[in-house]
A = this chain, B = another copy of it.
Amino acid sequence: MSKSFTLAEQVVAAIRTVVGAGPVRLHEPSFIGNEWLYLKECLDSTFVSSVGKFVDRFEVELATFTGAKHAVAVVNGTAALHIALKLAGVKAGDEVLIPALTFVATANAVTYCDATPHLIDCEARTLGVDAEKLRDYLIDHTEQRAGQCVNRVTGRVIRALVPMHTFGHPVELDELLAVVHDFNLALVEDAAESLGSYYHGQHTGTFGLMGTLSFNGNKTITTGGGGAILTNDINLARHAKHLTTTAKMQHAWEYRHDEVGYNYRMPNLNAALGCAQLEQLPMMLDSKRELFKRYQSAFAPVRGAKLMVEPEQCQSNYWLQTLLLDADQVKQRDLVLETTNDAGFMTRPAWVLMQVLTPFKGCPRMDLAGAQSLSQRLINIPSSSGLVPVVS
């Protein structure tokens, strides 16, 4: 591509090469399987709500797909995180380590437990928590007291670590597992974006005490709104189901609840959609990988930006295809965003970092140079599985 083209023009041309003329949305769902059939079946049964076979089936099939022993379907990924954090023992006054670069739900869920997000830097290789920097930071800033990791500055217990698999790319789990082991932290994986992503052959969300998924409309598969908690611990799974269904004790007619619970169950109507979507997931993942390959070719000659590639020994679901601008191209970001969107190709930057948001300005944090650099350079480009023919 000629040097006379701006980066923005090159990006538009590369996207157009792959997806054709616009307008093209960033990510839209694809309903080409049994979605229609199962929704009708659900409606005909009249069981659209808290009772019905699709919720049970969706949970079993999610567990099967991810390899988790148990899955609990809930109303969205935020609710899943809230309950997972509670069950990980996060209490009022605790701190929870989360990446500075994440969707706000990760931080919000911590506050729902009356705990404080403690912001961790991210690395360019995975876009997630920088394990090495985290270890050094914890060595310098925490101490163990009675088997708990205490923040020396605030005096508060750091209870858990919540890495997030950004845009589907797995974080460095081996190193993070070592960190949580060495510092007595619970590991809860925010796998909202990484259904179908694997770290060393094992599905993301199944490494920690619990993992959480999201089936929002912009995710790889959708239930309209929905999420799930994954765990290998039967007691945690039972407790999660109990807490997410108002903590009602089983009885033919009595309404007795033994703790403060939540109305977080996934309605059967949404689970019906989920069952149909799960059947399509392998094909969607193939399509998204094929889309990545086509983008890879199209962006190879582009100077000033690189397409994000899955980390080594990992398999990304390539939920959102991502450009990382070179450091000297930071000032071009907004022009690239404007030009692509004007051309009908929906693109967007990474989320505003957590420490920049009003509610989280005062949160404890380490040096966040890595996340800051990434947040200025990341651009998501159209990523729907429907953009390339489904490989059957």
Interface residues of A (CB under 8 A from B): 28-31, 35-36, 39-40, 43-44, 46-51, 75-79, 103-105, 108, 111, 114, 216-218, 222, 224-225, 246-248, 252-263, 265-270, 273, 337, 341, 347-349, 351-352, 356-359
**With contact pairs A261-B108, A268-B224, A359-B259 given, residues A217 and B48 touching in the complex (Cβ less than 8 Å):** yes
Which residue of the partner chain, among B43, B49, B75, B356, contacts A216 with CB atoms under 8 Å? Answer: B49
Contact A254 B352 (CB under 8 A): yes
In the complex, the count of this chain's copies comes to: 2
Known: A28-B46, A79-B263, A253-B337. 4 other contacts (CB 8 A): A48-B222, A49-B217, A103-B255, A267-B270
| Chain B residues, Cβ within 8 Å of A259 | 358-359
Q: Can you name the residue of chain B whose Cβ is closest to the Cβ of A51?
A: B217
Q: Can you name the residue of chain B whose Cβ is closest to the Cβ of A268?
A: B224
Q: Can you name the residue of chain B whose Cβ is closest to the Cβ of A52?
A: B217
How would you classify the secondary structure of chain A's contact residues: helix, strand, loop or mixed?
A: loop
Contact A255 B224 (CB under 8 A): no
Contact A31 B43 (CB under 8 A): yes
Cα A333 to Cα B79 in complex, Å, equals 38
| 8 contacting pairs across A/B (C-beta < 8 A) | A48-B273, A50-B225, A77-B263, A103-B255, A217-B268, A224-B268, A253-B337, A258-B358
**With contact pairs A48-B273, A349-B254 given, residues A76 and B36 touching in the complex (Cβ less than 8 Å):** no
Contact B105 A263 (CB under 8 A): yes
Q: Can you name the residue of chain B whose Cβ is closest to the Cβ of A356?
A: B256
Contact B216 A50 (CB under 8 A): yes
Contact A104 B269 (CB under 8 A): no
Contact B50 A217 (CB under 8 A): yes
Cα A270 to Cα B351 in complex, Å, equals 28
Contact A261 B358 (CB under 8 A): no
- Shortest Cβ gap from A252 to chain B (Å): 7
Cα A339 to Cα B267 in complex, Å, equals 31
Q: Chain B CB within 10 Å — which of A30, A43, A216, A349 has the most?
A: A43
| Chain B residues, Cβ within 8 Å of A217 | 47-51, 267-268
